[in-house]
Each structure stands twice: as C-alpha cells, then as structure tokens.
Structure 1
Amino acid sequence: MVVPAVPPTRYDVAVIGAGPVGLACALEIQRRGLSVCVLDKGALVNSLVGYPTNMEFFSTPELLEIGGYPFPTSHYKPHREEALDYYQRVARSEKLPLRLYERVVGLGGELGNFTLTTSRGEVASRFVVVATGFFDVPNLLGVPGEDQPHVSHYYKEPYAHVGQRVIVIGAKNSSAKAALALTRSGAHVTLVVRGAALSESVKYWLRPDLLNRIAEGRITALYHTSVQAIGPDAIELLTPDGPQNLPADYVYALTGYRPDYSLLTALGVATATDAAATPLHDPATFETNRAGVYLAGTVCGGLNTSRWFIENGRHHAQVIAAHLAEQSH
C-alpha cells in the first residue's frame, strides 16, 4: 500500500531568522491577522547566545524593544543575559510558532506559492521574510591553520585562558573588549592589527582603556602586521621588521562577520556589484528582486554590517507587515 505524502504545513509568511528583527517581523505580521512561522538554524536569538558573557549593549533598553513590550533592566544599558530573557519572553507571550535548529537550504515556487526546503522537510508559505543578520559567517583570514581547534572567530569569556599566551587579531570593538577582558583575567595578550592603529569605530570608553594597557606594557600591540599561518603552538606573522614567529596557546581571529550569501543565493536573492555587495531590495518595501521575498535588518546592508542593527532594523518589521497585509487583500 502506498502511503500518501504528508503535505507541508502552510503559512501566509515564513520568517527566516529568529533574532530580534526576525521576531519583530513575525510579531507584526501575526498582529495583522496573517499566519506566520519563524525558522532558525540555531537557537532562539542565536546571535545573542553567541555574544560574550555579560556583554553590555551600546543602546539603551527602549531602543531594543519590539512589539511595544517594555524591556526591564537593572542597568542603564542592558546586558546580554537580560536581552536573551527579554526576547524569549516576547516570543512566548506572542505564541510565535518557532521551528528552531531547522536550516533553510532552498526555496522553490513563486509569489503566493513558495516551498522552503529545510533540514527537516518542507514549509509552504505565500511570502518569505529573510532576517538572518550576519553574525554566523566570520570573515576568514584565509591562512593555513585557521581551522585548528585552538583558533576561534568568536570570543565568549576569558576564564579558560589564565596564564596562557593569547593572540587577538583585529582592531575593532570585539578585539578591544576581548583583549581587555583576557588581560584582566590573567592571560598574556598580543593584539595583532593589520593597519597603523585601532579602528576609529572602537567605542569611546574602550579606546583609552586599551591604549593605556598597551602603553603600560600589559598588552603587546603589533601594528602593520599580518598573519601568514597558524601552527599548533605558534603563529607566523609578517611585521614591519620582517617575519616573526610568536608563541600562541590560543588565537582569537576577531576580524568581523558577513551575511550568509550562500543562503541568499539559494533563496534567489541577487546581489549588487557595489563595494558592500548589497542584496537587491526595494528600500521602500524591503522586497527583493524575487517577488514575495523580503529582507529585514542587518542583512539589508550586505558587507556594510554597521548600517542596520537592532535599534533601527526593528522598524523594518512594521513596513514589511503593512506591505504584506496590502498584498494579501
């Protein structure tokens, strides 16, 4: 006997990405009477799960709120753990249908009749919203040894590195925070910077702290220096004085992140030829070149990952939800 295939669950809208902006989109769409589901290849607000322990947000809580829910905090600026709790509570309060740890790998069909292929099956929807951020794809150095277990593109906390020789690669906020925390926890830190100085984007309260630690010799900074290879217990550098082999127990390559362009390609979203490799979309509606597929949040900026963030990207939700409601009538 042939058992008929079970048709995929059908929704009005499938939102890819369960971060703050993805949740904001799902919330606004659901409030307009459309059925919605949220898919993510990782956990709920997966990027925040990967942020450093006790990380402090640059924004104050009211700028991180979604759906009109107040964001309570015991600090002037909320910490990572408070944000995790806040967004999880909003998702539960709104009873948003979540499909976590389910990776989207393809998109078939057309406007009004899409089928998302995932790691667990299929999801049918009339529209698709992509709110995948950029934190899951690091900018690789492209050097031998980068894939070793003692090399990471994500910094979490310093406590495992007491007494160790740690190399931090990068010149922006992530590198500055990691270098300072590691040093204060007893690691011997060398900061490797490709350019002549720290980035101008380093937060104003971090810059003097880091520069003072460098000046007093607690942190070694190597400028105009590039990584050539990473060995099991040393890192090969090219410095202004020539090649240098530096002992290293652990390496943090904090060189930034980028959108998942392979996913965008699989979804049929084209990319502009500008320097930021911006995914094509209408800035008025956020609809992409593929009719019925929308972008929201940081992914809209392509490689310019500082253009959109939670504070301003959350407002994309209302624009997209309004456009989808109009399309549905």
Structure 2
Amino acid sequence: MTQSMIDVLVVGAGPYGLSVAAHAQALGLRTRIIGTPMHFWDNRMPVGMFLKSEPFASSLGSPHPGRSFLDRHSEWDTMGRPIPLDMFTSYGRWFAEHLAPGPEETLVTNVAQDEGGYRVTLATEEVVRARTVVVAIGVGAFAHTPDVVSHLSPRALTHASEHRDLGVFADRDVIVVGAGQSAIETAVLLADAGARPRLVARTPRLAWNAPPRQSSSRLDTLLRGPHSGLGRGWRTWVWSEAPQVTRLLPQGARLELVRTTLGPAGSWWLRDRMDERVTVNLHQHLSGATEADGKVMVSTLGPNGPQIHSADHVIAATGYRPQLDRVTVLSPDLRQRLRRVAGSPRLDANFQASVPGLYFTGLSAAASFGPVMRFVHGADFCARRVARHIALHAGTRDTAVPKPVTV
C-alpha cells in the first residue's frame, strides 16, 4: 500500500510546536503534531514557579485574534504581575484544544530524509511520510551542566529542569549552582519546601531586574524606548519585535547578543523572598566535586582561596545550550549534513535548515534569529514564517499566503 504524504509534521507540542501547528492548520496544511501539549512545563518545572516574562509577552502564536494569554486572563493586564506556572500551562493546553487540535501523545524516535520528503518513525512504530518536518523540541534536550561536576552520579547531581516537586529535598542540604532566575527561584522554592539551600555562583554579586513601569508620557517613551517582550529600550525592541533584522547582523555580534541579552538575573518580585533561609556564596568558581558516604563535596576557588561545600545533593541551575548533536530524533546522517552556527543549525530567513524541508524553532533558532527565540514571545513570529513558507513549499492554493521571505 502506498502511504500518503502529509504536508508537515511538527516534533514537539510546547509553545513553539503548538504555535506552528496552529498556523499550519489555519493555512489548510495537512498537519500532524507529535507530543503531549505543554509536557515539559507540566512535568519538569517546579511547583510554585512563576514565569519571568510579562503577561503581554507570554502568548502562544495564534493565526486568529483574541487568543492571547491576556485575552484568556484579562485580569492579569498589569505590568509586573508574574504569571503562575499552572496558569500558563493551562493556557497552553487550552490553545492546543482550540487552535492546534489533534496532538498525538507519543514520541518521535527517528527522522530521516526520504525521496520527496521525510520518513518519521514514532514510538508506536508507525512510519509517517511528510514533505516537511518542524523540530520544536524546546529546551529539555539542551540542559547544561558544568563539566567540573558532570561526573557526579544522578543521586548526587541533577539539573533544575528535572524537578517538579522540590519537596523531596525537605530537611536536606542542597547546593544550587547558578545566579539566574532559575537558580534563585529554585533556592527559594527549596527553602519554602523545608530544605537548606546554598546558592553557589561565580558572579561577585547577584543581579536583579528592575520593576517595570508604564511610560509617563510620549516623551518618556521616545527617550527611554518602548516596552517589548524582552524589556525596555529601542535596541531591545528591535531584538524582540524584529528578529529578521537581528538575523542580518554579523554572526559574532548576533551570538554575543544571544549570550548577553537578559543575562543571569532574578526578577524584582523574587528579591524579597530571597532571605536568610538561603545561604549565598558568591565569587566562587567551581574547581571539583566528589562523593563519599552519601554526601557530595563541591570545591570552589574564590578571593579568599579554596573552599569545600558539603551537601546531600547538587542542583545545576545553569541554563541550556543548544547543540545539534543532542537532537537525537534526527538520524545521524541527517544531523551530519546540516550546516551549523556555534553548534546550532544555520537557518535561512524562514527558519529552514541547510537540508530543504527541515525547520527549527525556539532555542535552536536563537543563533540565527537572536535572543527572542529563547522566550515564548518569539513563538508567533517564528510560527508565521515557518507555516507560510511550508504552505508555499507544499503548493497550497491559498491566496492569503504571502510570498516567501528572502531577507
């Protein structure tokens, strides 16, 4: 039997995957989305967490008006009011039900190029033929742990993204490595759960984001710049709202933007919760780690010389670093043929990789489109470009589909 070919298969059902699927379906593309909606957010983010992004910048990409986060939760239309994790994941599941229906709660195990498209193998052993594939796997595969502690056993070391319930650490000593929002919030939530957290970071001082405030006048907006999904300021507005411009920057400048924009810092609303329950050791560079008798000892070097910190467990809240070699759903041959930028896929103006018909979204696209792709706010721009380009690639006869983007 000849297997029919669909237009697009989306790998992943997080904010970017759901957004791409919604736009693709709205353009009449035969679409399948593989994954459980908001699974990473529901299962690998800690209970009690709040989003760092502002409510107006926390929407999935909808092809129709009236489906933003604030349309669902108009009572949250206040700058500086953080969104509870469960409220955001509930919004994502609602979005999936109404705008990207039909997610298949299984996994993709292999994507290989085939004549005329791709052969995608699912965990159910079904093989799907697709003209195009959109890789929207989120950040989970890219969890970064410093090399100096990476040899520790799973009993002694985990990444911050591995914990839904931090209550398992009650009455235990836990070292949290890092100085960004994830590290600080993890330490606070550990304290709330009855643990004894110790924050260890190389920075000499913790950074805190200032409370946002509305512009007082048009002159204030002109001088200080408008608000955007990444913060305030004219340059920030460009990185946030016009990633097609960011893509045109020299590669070195673009990668530096990704590295430095919204660097490690805690949200202003978290500052008061960071109290004496959390021991803080700053200006400490990790130098080694060992395990013995059920304890883990982390060695650091600082201005006052070496120190040893003992704990029951270490949590690395040290972010995510995209690397194509970790995208193991792609066949080794396919991965090897992809051109790269600092370990990420090199993408064209429509998020298409160097192998035609293969698209990347989210963090995997940050090296090409800039820092907004690290955040939910980038999902709408990404989804619109990807879906419209695929519609043209699939030969869809939809007069609403614009010409392909070439800049």
Report the TM-score when normalising by structure 1: 0.83
Distance 1:206 1:306, change over 3 A: farther
Change (3 A) 1:179 1:292: same
- Alpha carbons of 1:195 and 1:9: their partners in 2 closer, same or farther (altered >3 Å)? farther
Indicate how the Cα distance of structure 1 residues 176 and 7 shifts in structure 2: closer, same or farther if over 3 A, else same: farther
The residue aligned with 1:328 is 394
Give the one of 142, 156, 159 matched to 1:153. 159
Matches within 5 A, 1:60-75: 60-63=54-57, 64-67=59-62, 68=65, 69-71=67-69, 72-73=72-73, 75=76
Q: State the alpha-carbon separation in 2 of the partners of residues 140 and 324 from structure 1.
A: 36
Q: Alignment length, in residue pairs?
A: 315
Per the alignment, residue 299 of structure 2 pairs with: 237
Question: Partner residue of 2:41?
Answer: 48
Counterpart for residue 310 of structure 1: 376
Q: 1:303 to 1:169 in 2, by over 3 A?
A: farther
In structure 2, distance between residues paired with 1:77 and 1:220: 24
Contact (CA 8 Å) 1:258, 1:305: kept in 2 or not? no
Q: Does 1:19 align with 2:27?
A: no
The residue that corresponds to 1:248 in the other structure is 311
Residue pair 2:179, 2:201 contacting (<8 A) in 1 also: yes
Query: For structure 1, which segment, 141-150 or 290-299, has the greater mean C-alpha deviation from structure 2 after superposition?
Result: 141-150
Deviations 1:69-122 (A, max 9, x none): 243235444321112222212222246332333133231215x43212333332
Give the aligned partner of residue 180 of structure 1. 188
For residue 305 of structure 1, report the CA deviation from its aligned partner: 8.4
Change (3 A) 1:201 1:305: farther
> How much does 1:139 deviate?
1.0
1:128 counterpart residue number? 133
**Aligned residue for 2:340?**
272
The answer on whether the counterparts of 2:191 and 2:277 sit within 8 Å (CA) in structure 1 is no
Among candidates 79, 94, 99, match of residue 104 of structure 2 = 99
Question: How far has the Cα of 1:286 moved from its partner?
Answer: 1.3
Report the equivalent of 2:198: 190
Residue number in structure 2 paired with 1:81 = 86
Which residue does the alignment assign to 1:137? 142
SS in 1 for 2:340: coil
Show CA shifts across 1:273-313 (max 9, x none): 54xx331111x211110111112222201499844121123
The one of 287, 301, 306 equivalent to 2:366 is 301
**Hey, what's the Cα distance between the residues in 1 that align with 2:164 and 2:314?**
13
Q: Alpha-carbon deviations, 1:223-277, whole Å to 9, x = none?
A: 2230512413122313234544332122211111133522276344624354xx3
Q: Distance in 1 between matches of 2:117 and 2:285?
A: 52
Partner of 1:3: none
Distance 1:260 1:103 in 2: 18
Instruction: Indicate the RMSD between aligned Cα atoms, in angstroms.
Output: 2.9
**Please, which moves more after superposition, 13-22 or 186-195?**
186-195
| Deviation of 1:184 (Å) | 3.9
3-state secondary structure, aligned to 1:167: strand
Q: Is the 8 A contact 1:20 1:314 kept in 2?
A: no
CA contact (8 A) 1:298 1:313 kept: no
The alignment partner of 1:88 has SS state of helix
Question: Which residue, out of 26, 32, 42, partners 1:37?
Answer: 32
Asked if the contact 1:190–1:222 (Cα under 8 Å) also holds between the matched residues in 2, the reply is no
Check whether the contact 1:133–1:259 (CA below 8 A) recurs between aligned residues.
Answer: no
Q: Determine if contact 2:33/2:104 at 8 Å carries over to the other structure.
A: yes
Q: Is the 8 A contact 1:168 1:175 kept in 2?
A: yes
CA 1:9–1:292 in 2, change beyond 3 Å: closer, same or farther?
Answer: same
Provide structure 2 residue ranges, at least 5 long, that are not aligned to the other structure: 208-262, 396-407
In structure 2, C-alpha distance between the alignment counterparts of 1:152 and 1:223, rounded to whole Å: 22
Cα distance in structure 1, aligned partners of 2:186 and 2:352: 38
- 1: CA distance, partners of 2:272 / 2:368: 29
Q: Which residue of 1 aligns with 2:118?
A: 114
Tell me how far apart the structure 2 counterparts of residues 181 and 95 of structure 1 sit (CA, whole Å).
33
Supply the distance in 1 between the matched residues of 2:368 and 2:20 (Cα, whole angstroms): 22
Q: Distance in 2 between matches of 1:218 and 1:291?
A: 50
Could you tell me how far apart the structure 1 residues matched to 2:41 and 2:311 are?
28
Q: 1:184 to 1:117 in 2, by over 3 A?
A: closer
What code does the residue aligned with 2:45 have? Y
The answer (yes or no) to whether the contact 2:322–2:344 under 8 Å persists in 1 is no
Secondary structure of the corresponding residue to residue 383 of structure 2: helix
